Amino acid sequence: MKSLDVTRTALGNTLRSKMRTFLTVIAIVIGAFTLAVTSGLAAGVNQTIEDMVEGYGGQDELYVMTADTMGQGEDTGPGPQEYDPDEAASQSEFGQSMLSDDDIETIEGLDHVTQVDPIFFVSPDYLETPDGEQYMLNDLGTPADAQAMELVAGETPEREAMEITVPESWLAVFDESTDDAEQADPQTAIGETIEVGISDMAYEQHTVEAEIVGVSAPNLAGIGGDPMPSHAVNDELYEIQSSGLDVDQPDTYVQAAATIEDFSANEDSVKEALQEEGLVGMSVEDLMGMVQTVIDAIAWVLYGFAFIALLAASFGIVNTLLMSVQERTREIGLMKALGMSSGRVFGLFSMEAVMIGLLGSIIGVGGGVLTGVVANALLTGSGGPLGEIGGLSLYAVSPTAILSITALIMAIAFLAGTLPAARAAKKDPIEALRHE
């Protein structure tokens, strides 16, 4: 019997008991479906993160914050802590540890640091549109993150210009033809001049004018979900915020962007030097890597459930084929009596196991890919619940992953079929022909 004949016969034997084969295949389908969906989810989200990293400005920069801010400060233990005036002055109103002028000088003095760009923390009151309407403005984006935005229209603010972007959720404020931000034309906001209101230390309000140059959509990291000022706008807001009283107010910074020469070669040494100074430097890959680590951890949990399903399915294959060997004992004896070798018998029953695995993987992987593609279109497309997150892809089809999953399932099916196949191959033809 040739290999093609073995394959054709194995397929026919697999379909002899359709109900039993169907129930065995279902368990494989569950595992294959879970693997296909999970691998696609991981590939989609990781691709989104990679795209964000590639589009993020400052690939040669470290974003520096205090160790306390990143949860890496010295553990002082329970109980009250000794008062430190310098440390207290560097705390924001939310209790977050801020960078001081001394910290900025320290960063500037490190080897391989060519430029330090400190970012002020500002807390504006409102945004006023050209028609005089005022809207709450509790948060502003950080200028250093401007290059990471997903723009719907326009461009990012220039560093020294009095420019700002607004999120697309604000578009209805500028487009008088509709009250629905999703239906509004992004171009209606471009070129408009708005005013940002902010209070000084004496609680007197002032305004800063800025021109809208872009409309953004929030990405996976949340960047772009708030108005994003240029460095010039952010600095002027801080000047107002820290004025109003006849007292010297030390400057504090929420973070600083440090430009590193020959970044790949010097990144680690600069990070170590920052750590010695009680500071933490993180690259774009580090920042996005934390999200990627969480996604990968969730994916491996789901992979684990899929492998459990496949393990259960392998026992189903063993049971199905053992019953088939028992029912076909006389047939096995006849095949061997007619000259079929034990190796061919082993190959025939192993091929039946592989056929069961192939059927399960085709149905499961196909269903998983179809479900992933449709769900991705519904969730992230226009009008979907995640459609506002710019550049988000929840599912990506990976041919390599699909082929790997199919090969894995067929390998598991083959291993599961070796026991029944070996039992069939060892049958004595005379005893088998006598079997009732």
pLDDT 10s digits, 138-147: 788 888 777 7
Contacts of 90 (CB under 8 A, 6+ apart): 66, 97, 98, 99, 100, 250, 252
Contact yes or no for 100/251 (Cβ under 8 A): yes
pLDDT of 311 higher than 90: no
- The pLDDT assigned to 106 comes to 92
Q: What is the pLDDT of residues 271-303, one digit of tens each?
A: 999 988 889 888 877 767 777 788 788 888 888
The token pair at 56 is: 């993020």
Structural domain boundaries in the chain: 3-54+290-434, 61-260
- The pLDDT assigned to 335 comes to 82
| H runs (alpha helix) in 197-247 | 231-241
Nearest to 46 by CA among 395, 419, 403, 302: 395
- The pLDDT assigned to 192 comes to 93
pLDDT band, residue 83 (cuts 50/70/90)? low
- The pLDDT assigned to 94 comes to 42
The token pair at 307 is: 């492998």
What is the C-alpha to C-alpha distance for residues 109 and 113, in angstroms, rounded to an integer? 7
pLDDT of 213 higher than 90: yes
Average pLDDT of the chain, as a whole number:
83
pLDDT of 408 higher than 60: yes
Question: Rounded to two decimals, what is the model's pTM?
Answer: 0.65
- The pLDDT assigned to 185 comes to 87
- Angle ∠(80,83,89) on CA atoms, nearest 5: 125
Q: What is the pLDDT of residues 93-104, one digit of tens each?
A: 444 678 888 889
User: Which element (helix H / strand E) includes 193?
Assistant: strand 193-199
- Angle ∠(16,17,22) on CA atoms, nearest 5: 120
What is the C-alpha to C-alpha distance for residues 185 and 189, in angstroms, rounded to an integer? 8
Q: What is the pLDDT of residues 24-67, one digit of tens each?
A: 888 899 999 999 999 998 888 888 777 766 655 556 788 888 88
Greatest distance between any 2 Cα atoms in the chain? 110
pLDDT band, residue 232 (cuts 50/70/90)? very high
User: Which element (helix H / strand E) includes 163?
Assistant: strand 163-167
- Angle ∠(3,8,12) on CA atoms, nearest 5: 145
Q: What is the pLDDT of residues 151-192, one digit of tens each?
A: 888 998 998 999 999 998 888 888 877 777 777 888 999 999
Q: What value does the mean pLDDT take over residues 315-339?
A: 83
Under DSSP, is residue 227 helix (H, G, I), strand (E, B) or coil? Answer: coil
What is the C-alpha to C-alpha distance for residues 315 and 178, in angstroms, rounded to an integer? 61
Strand segments (E) across 226-310: 228-229, 252-260, 279-282
More confident residue, 254 or 221: 254
Residue with tokens 């061997």: 336
Nearest to 27 by CA among 363, 393, 401: 363
Q: What value does the mean pLDDT take over residues 409-422?
A: 90
- The pLDDT assigned to 363 comes to 94
Percent of the chain with pLDDT over 90: 24
CA 42 and chain centroid, separation: 7
- The pLDDT assigned to 18 comes to 78
- Angle ∠(48,53,59) on CA atoms, nearest 5: 170
- The pLDDT assigned to 197 comes to 94
Percent of the chain with pLDDT over 70: 86
Distances 369 to 32, 129, 137, 205, 373 between C-alpha atoms, Å = 10, 46, 42, 56, 6
Side chain identity, residue 121: F
pLDDT band, residue 210 (cuts 50/70/90)? very high
- The pLDDT assigned to 212 comes to 94
Q: What value does the mean pLDDT take over residues 221-250?
A: 85
Q: What is the pLDDT of residues 17-36, one digit of tens each?
A: 778 888 888 889 999 999 99
- The pLDDT assigned to 93 comes to 47
Residue with tokens 């990679």: 50
What is the C-alpha to C-alpha distance for residues 392 and 315, in angstroms, rounded to an integer? 40
